[in-house]
Amino acid sequence: MGERSCSETGGGRDHRRAFAHAKARLAGSIPKCHPVDMRTEVKLYEKQWEVYRKRTFLFWIALLGGGLVAVGSILIGWAEIVAGPLWLIAVAVSHLSRMFWPCPRCRRPYHATWFFGNPLAQHCLHCDLPKWASHGEER
């Protein structure tokens, strides 16, 4: 598949086209033929970080939900049979969702490589994008 020129990518003034162009450029599917509006790039990063915040929040809700499972198993004898496995699945899915969240810059998993994972990483393990960066700044 050949590379597309800037005129084919719709790099005009239309907001939707500019946003799509910035997203495609960040994904590496089109060349850096002309600068993308910085505001569009910042909005794209902020949107991705908001997704990360939501995934992290859901992880903590799932993890702390284990306390409710423990209390329920004390009060109701059969609760751990049903709620325990559901809680483990919720924690595992939310943790993996957070670990393999794609970096806004390089679109590879932010917290994991093929052999190493660090859920507390303060920068992308692939491109060194700092956590909470508003655009493609270096650390």
**Residue 102's beta-bridge partner residues?**
109
CA dist 70 and 135 (Å) reads: 43
Mean per-residue pLDDT for 102-115? 86
Indicate whether 52 and 27 sit together in one domain: no
Quote the mean pLDDT of the chain.
75
SS3 64: helix
Domain range holding 27? 1-36
Indicate whether 87 and 23 sit together in one domain: no
For the stretch 56-101, pLDDT in tens is 999 999 999 887 777 777 777 776 777 788 889 999 999 999 999 9
Q: Per the confidence metrics, is the pTM higher than 0.75?
A: no
DSSP state of 41: H
| DSSP sequence for 72-122 | HHHHSTTHHHHHHHHHHHHHHHHHHHHHTPBPTTT-SBSSB-SS-B-TT-S
Indicate whether 6 and 47 sit together in one domain: no
Burial class (CB in 10 A: 0-12, 13-18, 19+), 43: middle
Domains: count for the chain: 2
For the stretch 19-40, pLDDT in tens is 565 666 655 555 555 555 666 7
Indicate whether 139 and 94 sit together in one domain: yes
Q: Is the per-residue pLDDT at 132 higher than 70?
A: yes
Indicate whether 71 and 7 sit together in one domain: no
Indicate whether 31 and 47 sit together in one domain: no
